[in-house]
Every structure is written in C-alpha cells, then in structure tokens.
C-alpha cells in the first residue's frame, strides 16, 4: 500500500474464541467507511468456523453493534459464542465442589 493510501486505511482486528482458552485474532487494513459485515467477511473467520453471519452476536470493544455499523481506526470486532452453561448454574456447581472438597470441622 502506498503511504497516501495507508493514511486513509483503517487498522482493525476481528476476534473470535471458538472454545474456552483459545482466541483467534485477525488484524486487517480496510478502507475508511468499511462496515462490520465487510470486516467479518475479510477476516475469513466466518468461513473457517462455519459461522452464519445472520445469527451472530457481535460487539466492538465489548459494546453490542450491528452488521451495518461503520468502523473506526483501531476498532476490535468481537464475535460472541453462545453460552453453553448458565453462569448462575456454573457458580452453584463450583461452590458445591469446593464445599465437598473441604472436610467438615
């Protein structure tokens, strides 16, 4: 890219965690005015993981956004996985295991 084009390019990244403990981040340089949908397609993460863009939950820096949102320089698009366990239930199970591990006084 020529220096003049670089000044007008956005640097963004798209992140996705296909499973706990693994995060894949794809840095991109895109044109000014690029939408979230365009960045998702350019990242290749949708194709690599077989994700349906129509049902994805997305955010930019942790704030929910839609596919038509226009990106700014250094934005981070996050693709959210559906929860597999209710957080309250997971906390209750952890407490039970912890309580059972300690001997009664």
Structure-token pair, residue 7:
């000044």
What confidence tier does 104 reach under pLDDT thresholds 50, 70, 90?
low
What is residue 2's predicted lDDT score, i.e. its pLDDT?
A: 47
Give the right CATH number for 3-101 from 3.10.20.90, 2.40.50.100, 3.40.50.2300, 3.40.50.1260.
Answer: 3.10.20.90
Residue ranges covered by each domain of the chain = 3-101
Torsion, Cα of 58, 62, 63, 69 (10° steps): -50
* Percent of the chain topping pLDDT 70: 90
Rounded to an integer, the average pLDDT of 31-41 is 95
What confidence tier does 4 reach under pLDDT thresholds 50, 70, 90?
very low
Bridge partners of 78, per DSSP, are: 15, 59
What confidence tier does 6 reach under pLDDT thresholds 50, 70, 90?
low
Instruction: Identify the residue whose tokens are 């839609």.
Output: 66
User: pTM for this one?
Assistant: 0.73
């Amino acid at each position: 890219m020529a220096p003049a084009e670089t000044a007008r390019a956005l640097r963004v990244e798209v992140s996705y965690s296909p499973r706990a403990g693994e995060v894949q981040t794809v840095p991109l340089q895109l044109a000014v005015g690029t939408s979230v949908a365009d960045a998702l397609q350019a990242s290749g993460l949708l194709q690599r993981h077989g994700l349906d863009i129509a049902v994805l939950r997305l955010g930019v820096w942790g704030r929910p956004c839609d596919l038509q949102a226009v990106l700014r320089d250094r934005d981070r698009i996050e693709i959210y996985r559906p929860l597999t366990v209710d957080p309250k239930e997971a906390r209750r199970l952890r407490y039970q295991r912890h309580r059972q591990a300690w001997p009664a006084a």
